[in-house]
Structure 1
């Protein structure tokens, strides 16, 4: 039995708890939150021990194997490193952190302590996305021309007003960091590393510190191009999340309100009836097993098999770098290379701590 604990009893923690309950050989044994009200509600509902302090929880329940970090993004690094130093495996909600330094510190702490690290990018487990990944890895597209990642959603002012940290640069970030980062993780997972970015961002409709709309063009290391669009400003509700990939011998579009449905699937090497059968199969079960459940199950298996989790800390770091590159390009008004983001953040970190 793998014993889990959760830090942060907000909205997203419920998905983790439900996932743990549904995974064989996984058991929730403790939760932690600074809010007495949220803590009491969670403890009573799920019949687990509760603590206001992570250190107290780790000291009192040494049987904990995995700690799920479900607090605001700006707090991830401090708590994740504390848990890693206590020799606990980690599942960290997206984004892994808000700075390269914090993300790298989490990755290094896990490496130093010999514990496993997974970042919650659960959309990789959607049936349509898994089919898209298989088409990529088996070379059905041939040489890739370009790819599009689009997120057109609604997050109204009431959403941001629910919690003071939402939409702030210190604790949350904007539409790229919070909502679109899942789509960006998929783009990188499918297309490989990005070399250069030209980005734009703006705060057009929401009263927040971070951006509510952004757009970017990217050049991947393999030479293919990409287009990114992300918005939390769509009226009156979520409209579209999609991934499109275009190659010399294949075209695929996965879309819908969320990227769960195959809208176009045509390959030179694939008979039309086979494509139609796949589309129908996905339509029959577009969601599959909940992504958080797959993340929990994968961690349990990774511990028992002593392997790396499917979604690694490095994967989370790469998605973060892409967001930060778009931010930096928008700030400078010119293209930036991904390796420059790390160098710039290191210089800024050294300056702030000198």
Structure 2
């Protein structure tokens, strides 16, 4: 039995708790939060030992894995401490807010011989797995381009419910917070990126970071990628999609969340076969919850002494892409301001 502790008893921690309680071979042994009311409520609901002192939690010899569910700006120091204490780490996305912090986490886990997994559960969606399989089998042929679109709503009340939301120090904007899953999928499906261009803006929300962003990437293989991410869509989440276009195939995954195959055509594949794949995914579009699979994979990684499926490097790569988009957008905005051409 692998014993887990959750640090940070906010909204996302509930997904971790349900995943741990559902997965055989896992036990939710402890929870930790500096907010004693949240801690008491969470501990009572899930039957886990409460800790208000993180260092005390790390001294507990029974804890095997720390699941970090705190604001993003706190991920690195908590993960490093956990690694030094000999605990394996599952960390919510993004892995961190700076590459220096991500590197410190990866190095600490490596030096102390513990596992580090980053929560990018969209990889486990049945539709996404079908797209990955088609790419691995070369069904698309030479790639033309890819699209990642996130048209969601996060209203002002969402950002006002906690002082850290939408801040540069602890959260980031729509690219860092919501669309980083889509960045991970772009890299997982399309490979490495060699150059980026981007615009970001804060149009409708009162926050430090961006609520809308658009970008273009060039993959090392020459294919292009288009990114659109928004938290400003009225009145609710509209769609999330990822599309791949190649010389021999076209595939589009979409819906309010990217869980359904909307288009699936390949050279040499007749309409019946295409519809069979679409129907197979539609029969169970969500599959096993991604957080549960992350927990299951961590257990297996410990037992088999292997790397988790979504590694610290994977989390770092997605972070690096977001930061590259930010740098390009910031440089463009500064140039336009100097040239007095900003709208």
Q: Same fold (TM over 0.5)?
A: yes
Question: For 1:151 and 1:8, how far apart are their aligned partners in 2?
Answer: 27
1:1-354 alignment, distance < 5 Å: 1-59=1-59, 61-333=60-332
Deviations 1:135-174 (A, max 9, x none): 0111100110100000000000000011010000100000
Question: For 1:86 and 1:269, how far apart are their aligned partners in 2?
Answer: 55
1:245 is paired with a residue whose SS is strand
What residue ranges of structure 2 are gaps of 5+ in the alignment? Answer: 334-343
Q: Which moved more, 1:48-57 or 1:173-182?
A: 48-57
Contact in 2 for aligned 1:140/1:269 (Cα 8 Å): no
Contact in 2 for aligned 1:195/1:218 (Cα 8 Å): yes
Deviations 1:194-233 (A, max 9, x none): 1000010000000000000000011011111010000000
Pairs aligned (count): 333
Instruction: Give the superposition deviation at 1:241.
Output: 0.4
RMSD: 0.8
Contact in 2 for aligned 1:249/1:267 (Cα 8 Å): yes
Deviations 1:242-268 (A, max 9, x none): 000000100000000000000000000
Question: For 1:278 and 1:212, how far apart are their aligned partners in 2?
Answer: 35
2:138 is paired with a residue whose SS is coil
What residue ranges of structure 1 are gaps of 5+ in the alignment? Answer: 335-354
Question: For 1:202 and 1:7, how far apart are their aligned partners in 2?
Answer: 32
Instruction: Give the superposition deviation at 1:271.
Output: 2.3
Instruction: Give the superposition deviation at 1:272.
Output: 1.8
Deviations 1:305-326 (A, max 9, x none): 1111000000000000000001
Question: For 1:257 and 1:183, how far apart are their aligned partners in 2?
Answer: 14
Contact in 2 for aligned 1:166/1:172 (Cα 8 Å): yes
Deviations 1:257-313 (A, max 9, x none): 000000000000322211101101111111001100000001011111111100000
Question: For 1:109 and 1:178, how far apart are their aligned partners in 2?
Answer: 24
